[in-house]
Amino acid sequence: SLLSTPVFVKLDTRKNILNSRNGHEIKVEVAPFFSMNKQDKPFFKAKISGTKYFSFKTKLDPVIAVRGAFGSILGIGSLKLPVNEKFYVGGARSLRGYEYQFAGDLNAKKKPIGGRSFIETSIELRLNITDTIGVVGFLDSGRAYSAITPDINNNPLRHGAGFGFRYMTDFGPI
């Protein structure tokens, strides 16, 4: 059993959070964790993420979105860290092209084990073909690591690339 008081600070200059075309979002999250069991050591979890949007007034009305995130857990080893507090990378919200939580180390049964740190990057190009139809291409990179800081030299980032279609509705893109 753990006791924690998470705190975050967010700066958001986007005008439309569902279909951002300009501005940025920066978020810093920190959380100290204290064990109710006196034998377990406390630990500290921190994460910073940011996204910047660039729009251009040309024929296809392009938008470039650049995102990055980094996190680290201090004060406790990976083996003693609760599974639900570890960092995981992979899936639709982090590293597209990888199965959910699978961009990191796996155990003997090929299941993700999570990590004490992670890094994620993404660049996305959005183009509007018509007022309601758009296309998007992306390149994502990232990985979860068992060490306190990402060890990119010994465990390189994993990459995913792809494209998709967007349909604009009155309430946001699908």
Could you identify the residue written with the tokens 């501005």?
Answer: 23
Residue 137 half-sphere exposure toward CB, CA atoms < 13 A = 3
The number of beta carbons lying within 10 Å of the beta carbon of residue 131 is 8
Q: What is the pLDDT of residue 41?
A: 84
171 has pLDDT over 90: no
Cα separations (Å) of 42 from 45, 70, 77, 97, 170? Answer: 10, 21, 11, 35, 47
Determine contact, residues 165/137, Cβ cutoff 8 Å. no
Res 172 pLDDT > 90: no
* 3-class SS of residue 127: strand
Query: In this structure, are residues 101 and 72 in contact, taking their beta carbons and an 8 Å threshold?
Result: no
**pLDDT tens digits for 65-85?**
999 999 999 988 767 888 999
Classified as helix, coil or strand, 170 is: coil
Q: What is the mean pLDDT of residues 29-56?
A: 92
Predicted TM-score (pTM) of this structure: 0.89
